Copies of this chain bind each other. A is one copy, B any other.
Amino acid sequence: MKRVLYLLWIPFICTLAYAQPAKTDKKNLVYFSKEYFQIGGTRIDEQEKENAYDRLPLAYKEKVRKEVWDLSKASAGITVGFITNATTIAARWTVLNNFSMNHMAASGVRGVDLYVKEAGQWQYVNTGRPASGKETEATLISNMKGEQREYRLYLPLYDGVVSLQIGIDSGKTFSKPIPVTTKPIIFYGTSITQGGCASRPGMAHTNIIARKLDIECVNLGFSGNGRMEQPLAALLADTDALLYVIDCVPNMSKEMITANTGALVATIRQKRPTTPIVLVENTLYETAAHDLKLQEQLQQKNSNLKRIFDSLRAKAVSNLYYVPATNALGSDHEGTVDGVHFTDLGFSRFADHLIAAFRKYKLVPPARVK
């Protein structure tokens, strides 16, 4: 029924797009705002949010710590989908904080990047590199054939989006894709889950996994603040998921792991008795190969997580899975920018590591043999 309704929308939306007053800018581009595209990577309705590109509902502003709330304004994992036959695509966007970091390119922190569906696969088109101020206007691609295709724009990983418009060459169509209604994979984690330090938004592992599996991924990574906390456990349980991936160990002490893991799982299980929950170990930071104190801390945290996992399984908690950190980034120690946070190389490997685990446990469809 829902599907039928969505299909009915399409001509209406196209009409809206066509009905737009032909206000073109000096480059002869027409800009479309959020009424015209499909916001993805979130399962929270726009009406429940303070801002369309936020990751938490307004109701959670008082429920979570201020740090978590502030980080929820970063648009990590949020996508914008549209269908067009444009030959040129541009974007105008305004960020919330104009945030920057010394180990992550601004294009990942507050840029956007564009993909197109080609023969059923998502293929990178180009990046919108942010200006020095809060507002950017960038042509993403020109001189295209002008075929009707579906596009996906990934929004900034470490900054918020206050407003966004997509520009196309005048006289072309612009419409919404059919919304995704299949169950998503929901990731709850740390700075790494949030996408630190991908070179552009599409290279966060949650976004890579979404493309590779063609399954929507929801990013609830909160830099420095992924701690298996109860308000987030409740939020996770509120959304029916294909699976929940819990990757919080890097932001937790070994004591916190002992205290919070069981409660997180219990809260999810109350509402979702059978949905798979995947616990992920702390990756073995490259610096920890040399810094023996750090190495010991990591081992203690991971062994605490494993002990709790085993005890939950012993208590007959079903559909609970465990992903060890071994070779999560390969074996050459080259996947991070600072010994901790992943580069595009690290994210690419980590996405494959998680997909392999999901497949091993039969949580996602098996790999297609080419």
A interface list, Cβ under 8 A from B: 101-107, 111, 116, 123-127, 129-132, 141-145, 197, 199-200, 203, 286-287, 289-294, 333-339, 343-346, 348
Are B105 and A103 interface neighbours, CB within 8 A?
A: yes
Contact B344 A286 (CB under 8 A): no
- Say yes or no: A142 contacts B197, CB within 8 Å: no
Q: Are the CB atoms of A333 and B287 closer together than 8 Å? A: no
Q: With A102-B105, A111-B102, A199-B103 known to touch, is A125 a contact of B290 (CB < 8 Å)?
A: yes
Among B291, B337, B346, B348, the residue within 8 A (CB) of A144 is B291
Shortest distance from the beta carbon of A167 to any chain B beta carbon, whole Å: 16
- Other CB < 8 Å A-B pairs besides A102-B131, A103-B129, A127-B339, 19 of them? A102-B105, A102-B130, A103-B200, A105-B197, A105-B199, A123-B333, A124-B286, A124-B336, A126-B290, A141-B290, A143-B292, A143-B294, A144-B290, A199-B343, A203-B334, A343-B344, A343-B345, A344-B344, A345-B345
Which residues of B have CB within 8 Å of A145? 292
A291 contact from B124, B141, B289, B337, Cβ within 8 A: B141
User: Which residue of B has the minimal Cβ distance to A208?
Assistant: B334
Q: Please indicate the chain B residues that have their CB under 8 angstroms from the CB of A293 in the complex.
A: 142-143
Residues of B contacting A337 in the complex (Cβ-Cβ under 8 angstroms): 105, 107, 127, 199-200, 344
Query: Whole-angstrom distance between the alpha carbons of A130 and B339 in the complex?
Result: 15
Docked complex Cα distance between A345 and B293 (Å): 30
CB distance from A166 to the nearest CB of B (A): 16
Contact among B103, B106, B124, B203 for A127, CB-based, below 8 A: B103
Closest to A142 in B: B291
Within 8 Å by CB of A107, from B102, B106, B107, B124, lies B102
CB <8 Å contact, B289 and A123: yes
User: In the complex, A105→B342 CA distance in Å?
Assistant: 12
In the assembled complex, how far is the CB of residue A260 from the closest CB belonging to chain B, in whole angstroms?
27
Q: Closest CB-CB distance, A112 to chain B, in whole Å?
A: 12
Residues of chain B within 8 A of A131, CB atoms compared = 102
Q: Which residue of B lies closest to A287 (CB)?
A: B126
A111-B104 Cα distance, complex, nearest whole Å: 12
Closest 7 CB pairs of A and B: A343-B344, A143-B293, A344-B345, A199-B337, A102-B106, A345-B345, A103-B107
* Complex Cα spacing A48 to B328, Å: 46
Assembled-state Cα–Cα distance A343/B124 (Å): 14
A sample of 10 inter-chain contacts (CB < 8 A) reads A103-B107, A124-B333, A126-B338, A143-B291, A144-B290, A144-B292, A199-B199, A343-B345, A344-B344, A345-B345
| A290 CB contacts on chain B under 8 angstroms | 116, 125-126, 141, 144
A344–B339 CB distance below 8 A: no
**Within the assembled complex, what's the spacing in Å between the Cα atoms of A145 and B203?**
36
Which of chain B's residues has its CB closest to A130's CB? B102
A131–B102 CA distance with the chains assembled, in angstroms: 8
A104: chain B residues at CB < 8 Å are 105
Q: How far is the CA of A141 from the CA of B295 in the complex (A)?
A: 12
**Inter-chain contacts of A200 with B (CB < 8 A):** 103, 337-338
A142 to B295 CA separation, bound complex (whole angstroms): 11
Say yes or no: A203 contacts B343, CB within 8 Å: yes
CA distance A103 to B292 in the complex (A): 34
Q: Is the CB of B344 within 8 A of A132?
A: no
Give the chain B neighbours of A286 by CB distance below 8 A.
124-126
Contact of A127 with B338 at beta-carbon distance under 8 Å, contacts A141-B287, A144-B290 already known = yes
Please give the distance in Å from A116's CB to the nearest CB on chain B. Answer: 7
